[in-house]
Structure 1
Amino acid sequence: MTTISAAIYFQENTLGLFHLLNLNFWFAFIIGFFIYDLFHYSIHRVFHQVPLLWKLHRLHHTDPDVDVSTELKHHPFELVVTVVSAVVVVFVFGIPAVSIILCSLFAQVVSLISHANIKIAESVDTPIRKVFVTPAMHRIHHSAWQPETDSNYGVLFSFWDRWFGTYVDKPLAGYEGMKLGLDGFRSPRDLWLDKLLLQPFRRHVVVPASISEPIDEGKST
């Protein structure tokens, strides 16, 4: 709601690039829709690449059993950073509020589905994931092996990952052999609410996943 309110305010006060260029509403709506989803791809990637922000985001990856509830597990501080960043993007471009509302709605539906513990036939999944994120595609993102964790950042549209080189088609160990969650946060106690909320302030002792690969030191603290 904060982002939508900000968009309405900027629109009423003709603030932002779209307003300065006096773009046609429908053109601004369509471009704004895609820019807003690109923002979510970008901020998601930043949360993985910046060590301090990864400490906030890794709560989402701690879940060893990815399902619909995983989509709802985010640290409050992560949400604050995301909302503040979104408001800045909306201000710079002057994205219409309706673009934000519809993009957020579709992204939420797709995100819930992509986190669901369901299997879609490959013959169906393959054409869908050319445009939208699918459960199989996003499940790779929750792999415990870091090169796969740092992939498939898309929320609604999948082509951002293809265009920016972060797309992984299949897990190296196969879906059955892929380990989910984060090594170092696997005890039942780690999943209690107090531990999850304090997780950004805890040291992450990295234990290599089943596939041997160098670990990014930025994610070991």
Structure 2
Amino acid sequence: MDRIIAYFSTLEQRPLERMALLVAGLLFFWILEGAIPLFRLNYRKNKLQHALVNFGFTVMHLIIHTGLAVFIVMLSDWCKAANWGLVYWLNAGVGGAIAIGVLALDFSSWLVHWVMHKKAYLWRYHLIHHSDNKVDVTTGLRHHPGDSLLRGIFFLLLIFVSGAPMYSVMIYQTLVVVTTAFTHANISLPPLLDKSLSYILVSPNMHKVHHHWKQPYTDSNYGAVFSIWDRMFGTFSSLEPSQIRYGLDRYYPNEKDEDFINLLKDPFIRKNEP
């Protein structure tokens, strides 16, 4: 346990190692998509061209969160020095700090996601993620910079509430990177396995429901790692994969889902309603 804590406590200082984890996860599920695809995705041009559009947003997402990392470290260290947050108020040990931190940060992911669907001026940024008509592993980090910034703010808020130490923060960030690739990947798991996973974790089929083009399915299954929040707050829904259609039925033209410049500009020129 001490080695695990030591490893994750300093992982923030090794950006190349963190990048390697991200790339390894993307490559693993990219290969798996070819072996056990959920859908035969007919890309507008080809899979690589689709990926390049999403990687453009991924780079901006990573730049923003690399900048926010400074504030994350400062806030986590301040909580420790001030004995502030649930971890310290409950006198949680290492195991408790990991559990509290991971659950709190996962709740931040659920909460910010829910808020972006409910507020029109925030939805206009988040809909860029939903506009992808070919959901695959590269869709996971397709976030408009406005979307990415808001996620970072909520992340900081829940660090402040929980007092999550850096090892807990980095354990969660590693978990969410892997889970995001897993849940967006165009892979087909045995139905029983997928359903069993969804009682605790967000499974691929569970998250694909969230990418269905019509409400109320779009407004459900907000979870990132754990499915408990959707089940707890009544936002869980299910749909047979054969019935799922990606994209949006309004707000953004589906034929422009790979128009990178238009996707960047859209939140500033369109009055989108959730």
**Structure 1 stretch 183-192 or stretch 195-204: which is displaced more?**
183-192
What secondary structure, in the 3-state scheme, does the structure 2 residue paired with 1:191 have?
Answer: coil
**Structure 1 stretch 33-42 or stretch 180-189: which is displaced more?**
180-189
TM-score after normalising by structure 2: 0.69
**Structure 2 counterpart of 1:56:** 125
Cα 1:20–1:119 shift into 2, 3 Å: closer
Alignment pair present for 1:106 and 2:175: yes
**Structure 1 stretch 30-39 or stretch 136-145: which is displaced more?**
30-39
Alignment pair present for 1:142 and 2:211: yes
What secondary structure, in the 3-state scheme, does the structure 2 residue paired with 1:13 have?
Answer: helix
Aligned residues of 1:3 and 1:86 also touching (Cα < 8 A): no
Alignment pair present for 1:47 and 2:113: no
Alignment pair present for 1:30 and 2:99: yes
Percent identity over paired residues: 31
Aligned residues of 1:3 and 1:83 also touching (Cα < 8 A): no
Alignment pair present for 1:129 and 2:195: no
For each residue in 1:101-140, what CA deviation from the matched residue of structure 2 results, as whole angstroms up to 9, or x when unmatched? 1111111111111000111111211211111111110000
Aligned residues of 1:57 and 1:78 also touching (Cα < 8 A): yes
**Structure 1 counterpart of 2:40:** none
Q: Could you tell me how far apart the structure 1 residues matched to 2:87 and 2:195 are?
A: 39
**Structure 2 counterpart of 1:180:** 246
Letter in structure 2 aligned against 1:128: L
Q: Could you tell me how far apart the structure 2 residues matched to 1:110 and 1:20 are?
A: 28
What secondary structure, in the 3-state scheme, does the structure 2 residue paired with 1:149 have?
Answer: coil
Q: Could you tell me how far apart the structure 1 residues matched to 2:148 and 2:70 are?
A: 12
**Structure 2 counterpart of 1:120:** 189
Aligned residues of 2:80 and 2:165 also touching (Cα < 8 A): no
Where do 1:60-209 residues align within 5 Å? 60-170=129-239, 174-184=240-250, 185-203=252-270
Q: Could you tell me how far apart the structure 1 residues matched to 2:201 and 2:224 are?
A: 8
TM-score after normalising by structure 1: 0.84
Cα 1:47–1:187 shift into 2, 3 Å: closer
Could you list the runs of 4 or more consecutive aligned residues of structure 1 that deviate by over 6 angstroms after TM superposition?
none
Letter in structure 1 aligned against 2:211: H
Cα 1:177–1:21 shift into 2, 3 Å: closer
What secondary structure, in the 3-state scheme, does the structure 2 residue paired with 1:147 have?
Answer: coil
Aligned length: 204
Alignment pair present for 1:6 and 2:74: yes
Q: Which runs of 5+ in 1 are unaligned?
A: 206-217
Aligned residues of 2:87 and 2:100 also touching (Cα < 8 A): no
How far apart are 1:12 and its partner, in Å?
Answer: 4.6
Tell me which protein shows more helix as a share of its residues.
Answer: 2
Aligned residues of 2:209 and 2:237 also touching (Cα < 8 A): yes
